[in-house]
């Protein structure tokens, strides 16, 4: 039993962390309240980019470590769900980014006349864009091929896992608000619209982190993901029709053909934002056990998943 680890939480952060632990020779079980498509990760637009996440001093290294993993996965996009796709971050300037931006190949400032839509500034980049339903299934298969076990199990407290394994890793996202408990966690609601792709091949984003609205579209072969919102302390999981219409209208101002695209569905997820940023910390348990927290990734769980997983695995096995 001394090599046993239970990772609580089956989203992208939990799967990445469990995989890194299994690679270190640990016998790992994931306890997930939801199936893969029921996790917050499954709703993510999932373009690699550090967005709405702290602490700034750590985010760059976590994001770059994850970028290298996604670049490797993009060699086999059909299996992994990861493709490198070109696009534009409007309203963004290189000087406003951290040192991590220097390590992103091909990132460049655009001239004003190169930026789509009603925006005067922007960056061009070719970044990993991830089809999350495909990707989560891929990660689970990779984890299970290492001998890991994925179990559907809801817990009322982390002590349930601690009773069955000497090391527990908490990747519960917003649920850590009650399970830890951590009152610093707060939901940031994100709503998306899925439409038929009218032939768009490049992604686009325009995000104002101080506002509750964003504008983006992410192209996949069978659909276009439109967004979005960033509504703090809003826990509504039902799609709002007026919000959906506004999302389509904002995206159509950049690409008019989006206005006539057939709507395929709607998605809502609650980003797990946390005062003080991501928490990656080891806490001793009675009897010599160890609890490692890895939550609070806000709107960038996909972007930093592998960097945070490596750090959490070090704390769990060190």
Question: CA separation (Å) from 224 to 49, 78, 215, 261, 280?
Answer: 18, 17, 13, 9, 34
The annotation places the binding site for D-dopa at 216, 271, 299
Distance in angstroms (rounded) separating the CA atoms of residues 148 and 273: 29
Tokens standing for residue 265: 């569905």
Q: Which two tokens stand for residue 192?
A: 């998306």
Task: Show binding-site residues for FAD.
Answer: 40-41, 155, 172, 298-303
Partners of 168 in the β-ladder = 6, 291
Q: Render the burial of 132-157: b for 16+ CB within 10 Å, e for the rest.
A: bebbbbbbbebbeebebebeeeebee
Retrieve residue 147's tokens.
């001998």
Q: Are 21 and 306 within 8 A, CB to CB?
A: no
CB 307 within 8 A of CB 279: no
**Lookup result for tokens 């032939």:** 199
Residues 6 or more apart in contact with residue 299 via CB below 8 angstroms: 51, 52, 53, 188, 190, 230, 271, 273
Q: Are 263 and 241 in contact (CB under 8 A)?
A: no
> Which of 60, 62, 66 is CA-nearest to residue 48?
66
237: region left, alpha or beta (phi > 0 left; psi from -120 to 50 alpha): alpha
CA-based nearest residue to 143, from 14, 229, 254, 2:
14
* Feature table: binding site: 40-41, 155, 172, 216, 271, 298-303
């Amino acid at each position: 039993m001394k090599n046993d680890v239970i990772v609580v939480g089956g989203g992208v952060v939990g799967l990445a962390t469990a995989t890194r632990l299994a690679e270190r020779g640990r016998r790992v079980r994931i306890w997930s309240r939801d199936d893969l498509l029921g996790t917050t990760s499954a709703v993510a637009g999932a373009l690699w980019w550090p967005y709405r996440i702290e602490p700034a001093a750590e985010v760059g290294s976590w994001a770059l470590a994850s970028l290298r993993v996604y670049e490797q996965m993009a060699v086999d996009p059909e299996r992994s769900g990861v493709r490198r796709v070109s696009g534009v971050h409007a309203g963004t300037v290189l000087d406003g980014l951290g040192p991590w931006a220097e390590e992103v190949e091909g990132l460049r400032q655009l001239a004003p006349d190169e930026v789509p839509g009603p925006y005067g500034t922007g960056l061009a980049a070719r970044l990993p864009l991830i089809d999350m339903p495909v990707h989560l299934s891929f990660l689970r298969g990779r984890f299970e091929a290492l001998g890991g076990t994925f179990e559907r199990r809801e817990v009322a407290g982390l002590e349930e896992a601690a009773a069955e394994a000497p090391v527990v890793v908490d990747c519960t996202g917003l649920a850590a608000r009650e399970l830890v408990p951590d009152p610093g966690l707060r939901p940031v609601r994100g709503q998306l619209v899925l439409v038929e792709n009218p032939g768009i091949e490049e992604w686009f984003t325009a995000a104002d982190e101080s506002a509750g609205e964003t504008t983006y579209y992410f192209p996949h072969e069978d659909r276009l993901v439109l967004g979005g919102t960033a509504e703090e302390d809003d826990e509504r999981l039902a799609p709002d029709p007026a919000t959906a219409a506004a999302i389509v209208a904002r995206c159509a101002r950049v690409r008019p053909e989006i206005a006539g695209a057939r709507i395929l569905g709607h998605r809502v997820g609650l980003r797990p934002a946390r005062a003080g940023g991501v928490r990656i910390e080891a806490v001793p348990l009675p009897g010599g056990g160890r609890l490692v927290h890895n939550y609070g990734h806000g709107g960038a769980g996909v972007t930093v998943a592998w960097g945070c997983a490596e750090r959490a695995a070090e704390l769990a096995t060190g």
